[in-house]
Amino acid sequence: MENGGFVGEICADETDSTAQAAVAVRNAYKRYTPTAVILKNLNMTVKQSTVYGLLGPSGCGKTTLLSCIVGRIHLDSGSVNLRIRQKSKLGYMPQTLQLYVQLTIYENLAYYGYVFGMDKKAIQEKADELCTFLQLPPQHKLVSNISGGQQRRVSFAVALLHDPELLILDEPTVGLDPVLANNIWERLLEMTKHGKTIIITTHYIEEAKNAHQIGLMRGGVLLAEESPSSLMANYNCSSLEEVFLKLSYKQETQQSQPQPIEEFTIAEKPPPLPLEDTSVFRFTRFYATFMKLLYLSRRELRFVAFLICLPLAQSVFFNLAIGTDPTDLKIGIVDDELSHGLRECRMSRNNHCAYNYTEDLKLSCLYLDELEKKNFKLIEFDDIVSGKKAIKSSDQTWALIHFPRNYSEALSQRVNDGHDASGEALFHSSVDVWVDLSNQYIGNMVRRDIYYATQNFLQSIFMVCGDSPRLGSLPIVFNEPIHDIGTPGFIHFASVAFIILSSFYFPLISSEALILNDKMEGIIERSVVAGMKFAEIAVADSLFLGVVYILQMIITMVVLYGVFHNPFKGDVAISLAILFLAGVQGIFFGILIALNSNTYTEGAYLGIGSNLVLTFISGLVWPIESHHFLLKLVSPYFPLVLPTEGLRAVTAKEWGIDHPVVIKGFQSSFIWCSIFIIGVFLTLKFKKNALIIYK
C-alpha cells in the first residue's frame, strides 16, 4: 500500500479489504487556510478488531484526522467510512479534557452515561468498575480537586463507559504511571478479542509496539502503515524510532527535489460526516443536560442564589435611586425689602390682606414660605452679584431669586389698581429669577416648583383678603386625570421599561454563559460526538433557565409593585405574558450570541453593547416620543420597544389584550422570538465553529 515511499492512492486489489475495514479514510484533504494544509491526500485503513497506533510529532495532523473520523469536523475532500453506523457505538477521548470540572467524577460519568442512553443502575456499575481499574479517587471528588493525570483518566473512563465498538483515544497514557499505562494497554488488547476496534495516538513510540498496526504520520501524510514487526523488518531497523527517522529523511529528500504541483479540488459541498444521527430529539439526551444543570446548580448554590436575588437588589436600588424628585436643593435669595435678612421673616409672619399696605407688610416672607414647602433650602446672599457668582462657582446652588426693595408696596398697588397699575408698580412687583440649566432635569424641576410656589403664594394672599383664590391662578383648570396613576414621577414611567429589560437580560446573560462556557471548554463538542443534538441542549437549558427566570420575575414584580407601589392597574395575566415572552427572547438571543462568539470577551461585548442600545431606545432613559425623527422611524422594529409600550398601556391605562398597542407588543415579541430562533438555526447550519472552538 506504499506509493513512492508513502501511503498514497488506494490500489484496486485493496477494495475488498477496505470494505471489511473498521475505518477507511480515502484521499483525505483538509485545510484551515489556503496555506495551512493539515491533511494531504491521506489514506488510512484500520482493520476490524485491532489496535491501531497513530504516531507522529505535534502538529502533523493526528488530532485533525481523528476529529474527521469522529465527525467533529468535515473534510474538504475525500471520504471517511466507518463500519459502525450509530454514534452510540463510538467512544472518544479527545486530547483536551472536555469535562465539567465543577462536577464530581460520578456526576461527569452520569452525564455522559445518560447521553449514551444508559440507565442509572448501569452507569453506577460501570463507574465502579472503571474507577477501580483506572485507580481513580472516590467518585464524590470534584474533578477540579484531583490531579491532571487523574482528570485524564476520568476522561478515559468516559470513553469506555458505554462499551463502544470503535474507540478513538487521543494520547490516553500521557503522564500515567508505567504500570497503569501497561494495564491500560492490556485492557485495550483484551477488548479487541471481543470485536472492538481501537485507534490510539501516543507520544511514546516504543509503547506503540503493543499495537497490531501502526501508522507513521508526518506533515499531513502517512509515511507507512504496517505492523510494528513488519516496519522494523522492511526497513532493517531495530526500533520504531529508527524506522520513523529513516522515513522522515526520505520524505525530506523527496520534498527537496522538484515535484509536480499537487492540486486538490475543494468540494463545493463538504463530504458527509461518517456518522449522521437522523434523530431530532431524544429524551435521554435532554435528561442528561437537565440533570447536569441540576448537578451544577447544587454545586454552585451561592451562584444560583445570586441569580435569584440579583433582581431583588437591582429593583430595590432602581426604586431608591431613580425617579424621585431631588430634595434640599439650594436656592439663593436676595431680598432687598428685608432690613435684617431672612431672620426677619422668622421673627414675624404677615397674614393680613395685601389690599391694605403697611410698612410692616413683608409679602416676600409669604413667598419664601411657599418655596420652603417645596423642600428648597434657602441660602441668603447680600446682593445679586455674589449670588450669581455662587451659582457659577458651585454645583450646589441651582437658582437665584431677587425681591426688589419695595416689593410688597408695589404688589399691593398692582393688586388694588389692576390694569391701571403704573409701570413702576408692575416692574417692582415682579420677582427676578436666574436658574442653572446645566442639568436640564434639575433645572426644569426648579423652574416648575418656583412657578407652583408663585401660584400658591398669589392664591394665599387673595384668600386672606376674602377673594377667590382663582384670582391668583392662570385661567386654566386641570380636572381629574383620565388615566390616574397617583402622584406622577419618572419612576412610574421608567419602571415598566426596567422590568421588561430585566426580563430580557437576566435570561440572556444566563443562557449565554451556559452555552459559551460549554463551548469554550469543548464539552459541547464532546457531547455532540457522543450523539447529543443542540436542540436537546437548548430545550434543557431553556427549561432550567425558565424556572430561574420565573422566580426572578416574581421577585422583581413584588419589589416594584408590592413594596414600592409603582402603578399597576391592568390585567396581571396579560402583563405576565408580555414579560414571559421578553424572557424567551432573552434566552434565544443569549444562545445566538454564544454561538457567534469565539471568546468570553466577544460574548461580553455583544451582550453589553446590545443592552446599552436597547436601554436607550426602549423608553427607560427617555420617552421614545422625544427621539430623533430618524430613530423614530426604526425604533418600533427593535426588540422590547413595542412590548414596553404594551406593558405600560396595560399597567397604567388598563387596556386589554384586544387593544392595538397591546397587540403590537405581543406581535413584536413573537416576531423577535422567531428571528432569534431562526438565527440560531442558520448559525448552526452555516457557521463552522458555532459549537467548536478550534485551538
Residue 615, pLDDT score: 87
Question: Does the pLDDT at position 464 exceed 60?
Answer: yes
Looking up cell 390585567 gives 571
Tens of pLDDT along 580-620? 999 999 999 999 999 999 899 999 999 989 988 888 888 88
* Mean pLDDT over each residue of the chain, to the nearest integer: 87
Question: Does the pLDDT at position 486 exceed 70?
Answer: no
The per-residue DSSP string of 216-283 comes to EEETTEEEEEE-HHHHHHHTT-SSHHHHHHHHHHHHHHHHHS--PPP--PPPSSPPPPS--------H
CA angle, residues 363, 366, 367, in degrees to nearest 5: 90
Spatial CB neighbours of 397, under 8 Å, sequence gap ≥ 6: 330, 331, 332, 379, 390, 391, 436
Which residues, listed in sequence order, are joined to residue 30 by a DSSP beta bridge? 39
* pTM listed for this prediction: 0.83
Share of the chain above pLDDT 90, in %: 52
The total of other beta-carbon atoms located within 10 Å of residue 314's CB is: 18
- Strand ranges in 21-105 using DSSP code E only, listed in sequence order: 23-33, 36-46, 51-55, 77-82, 90-93
Whole-angstrom distance, CA of residue 408 vs CA of residue 657: 58
Alpha carbons within 13 angstroms on the beta-carbon side of residue 535 total 11
Residue 115 near residue 100 (C-beta atoms within 8 A)? no
Residue 10, pLDDT score: 42
Tens of pLDDT along 345-360? 876 656 667 777 777 7
pLDDT band for 1, please (50, 70, 90 cuts).
very low
Q: How far is CA 225 from CA 15, 42, 44, 174, 281, in A?
A: 16, 11, 8, 23, 40
Q: Tell me the mean pLDDT in the region 551-558.
A: 90
Question: Does the pLDDT at position 55 exceed 50?
Answer: yes
Question: Does the pLDDT at position 489 exceed 90?
Answer: no
Tens of pLDDT along 240-286? 999 999 999 988 887 766 555 455 666 667 777 788 777 778 999 99
Report how many helices (DSSP H) and strands (DSSP E) the chain contains, helices first.
Answer: 24, 15
CA angle, residues 229, 233, 237, in degrees to nearest 5: 100
Residue 2, pLDDT score: 44
Dihedral of the CA atoms 437, 438, 441, 444 (nearest 10)? 0
Residue 31 near residue 73 (C-beta atoms within 8 A)? no
Tens of pLDDT along 38-49? 999 999 999 999
Q: How far is CA 231 from CA 18, 80, 437, in A?
A: 21, 25, 89
Tens of pLDDT along 667-680? 999 999 999 999 99
Tens of pLDDT along 287-329? 999 999 999 998 888 888 888 888 889 899 988 888 677 888 9
Question: Does the pLDDT at position 11 exceed 70?
Answer: no
Q: Tell me the mean pLDDT in the region 332-343.
A: 89
Residue 73, pLDDT score: 85
Tens of pLDDT along 191-219? 999 999 999 998 778 788 899 999 999 98
Residue 676, pLDDT score: 97
| Residue 440, φ and ψ in degrees, nearest 5 | -60, -40
Residue 493, pLDDT score: 79
Residue 516, pLDDT score: 94
Residue 8, pLDDT score: 43
9 versus 130: the higher-pLDDT residue is 130
171 versus 204: the higher-pLDDT residue is 171
pLDDT band for 475, please (50, 70, 90 cuts).
confident
Q: How far is CA 342 from CA 350, 364, 433, 534, in A?
A: 14, 10, 18, 75
Residue 179, pLDDT score: 87
Question: Does the pLDDT at position 480 exceed 80?
Answer: no
Tens of pLDDT along 63-108? 899 999 998 888 999 999 999 988 989 999 998 889 999 999 999 9
| Burial status of residue 107 (CB atoms within 10 A of its CB: 0-12, 13-18, 19 or more) | buried
Distance between start and end Cα atoms, the chain: 33
Residue 32, pLDDT score: 83
Q: Tell me the mean pLDDT in the region 221-233.
A: 93
Which stretch of 176-190, 513-527, 615-629 has the lowest confidence by average pLDDT?
615-629
Whole-angstrom distance, CA of residue 525 vs CA of residue 669: 32
Spatial CB neighbours of 450, under 8 Å, sequence gap ≥ 6: 371, 374, 399, 401, 433, 435
Q: Tell me the mean pLDDT in the region 560-585.
A: 91
Q: Tell me the mean pLDDT in the region 497-517.
A: 92
Question: Does the pLDDT at position 5 exceed 50?
Answer: no
- Across 307-311, 337-341, 433-437, which has the greatest mean pLDDT? 433-437
Question: Does the pLDDT at position 173 exceed 50?
Answer: yes
Residue 564 near residue 317 (C-beta atoms within 8 A)? no
Residue 321, pLDDT score: 82
572: cell is: 396581571
